[in-house]
């Protein structure tokens, strides 16, 4: 993957992440009505869905900044504090997401999808923090890429959901599918990237 392509991918991800994060924060504003019957239908909407939103939206807002090489190299103290806040947001979001998964209106399939996301997301961030503290920066980078792939599930979920009515799929069935689709493909792509699948092939040296 070329440097230009890296910047294009980062810019697109940052734009979508910030947009979804800012949009999601509206749920935390006092007096803001929650019109969605699906959200109201969650048994644990209050307070756990709001805990999830607060943590996940913060992580989504800060996540792209973790991958700015200039910040990491020139302002390492800022990178550390952004990273710490991001990880705390993910851990809070994961706990809220796990509890909320058991209250979903869409049944056990959605519970399994979103619950698995919450558990794996939590583990990835604990591992990211642990490797940073151990100064294993290669491992740290890999775990944070995995972490953000799952954080970005908040974006891909919102990209997939409008497609299901166009395909004649009911909202409930689409929601069940997206409980896995929102993050599993992201995590697969992240793992391929970590393992170098998207690197540009190196040209053989000329003798």
The per-residue pLDDT for range 10-39, each reduced to its tens digit, is 899 999 999 999 998 887 877 665 556 666
State pLDDT tens for residues 154-182.
Answer: 999 999 999 999 999 998 999 999 999 99
pLDDT at 26 (0 to 100): 84
Place of tokens 């910047």: 7
Residue 42 contacts residue 105 (beta carbons within 8 Å): yes
| Domain residue extents for the chain | 3-194
Nearest to 55 by CA among 83, 84, 87: 87
Nearest to 149 by CA among 182, 186, 185: 186
Residue from 5, 2, 49 nearest 27 by CA: 49
205 pLDDT more than 80: no
Please write the tens of the pLDDT for every residue from 62-74. 999 999 989 999 9
> Token pair 């003798």 is at which residue?
207
Distance from chain centroid for Cα 137: 21
- Work out the pLDDT band at 88, boundaries 50, 70, 90: very high
| Dist. CA 142–CA 144, nearest whole Å | 6
Q: Indicate the SS3 state at residue 99.
A: helix
The pLDDT of residue 202 is 61
């Amino acid at each position: 993957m070329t440097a230009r392509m890296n910047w294009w991918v980062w810019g697109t991800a940052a734009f979508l992440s910030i947009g979804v994060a800012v949009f999601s924060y509206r749920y935390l504003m006092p007096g803001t009505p929650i019109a969605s019957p699906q959200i109201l239908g969650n048994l644990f909407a209050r307070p756990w869905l709001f805990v999830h939103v607060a943590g996940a939206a913060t992580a989504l807002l800060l996540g792209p900044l973790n991958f700015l090489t200039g910040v990491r190299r020139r302002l390492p103290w800022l990178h550390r504090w952004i990273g710490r806040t991001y990880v705390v947001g993910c851990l809070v979001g994961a706990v809220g997401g796990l509890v909320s998964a058991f209250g979903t209106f869409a049944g056990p399939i959605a519970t399994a999808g979103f619950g698995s996301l919450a558990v794996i997301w939590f583990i990835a961030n604990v591992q990211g923090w642990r490797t940073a503290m151990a100064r294993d920066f290669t491992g740290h980078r890999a775990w944070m890429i995995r972490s953000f792939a799952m954080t970005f599930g908040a974006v891909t979920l919102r990209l997939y959901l409008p497609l299901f009515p166009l395909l004649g799929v009911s909202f409930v069935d689409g929601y069940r599918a997206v409980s896995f689709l929102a993050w599993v493909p992201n995590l697969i792509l992240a793992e391929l990237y970590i393992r170098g699948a998207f690197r540009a092939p190196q040209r053989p040296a000329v003798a």
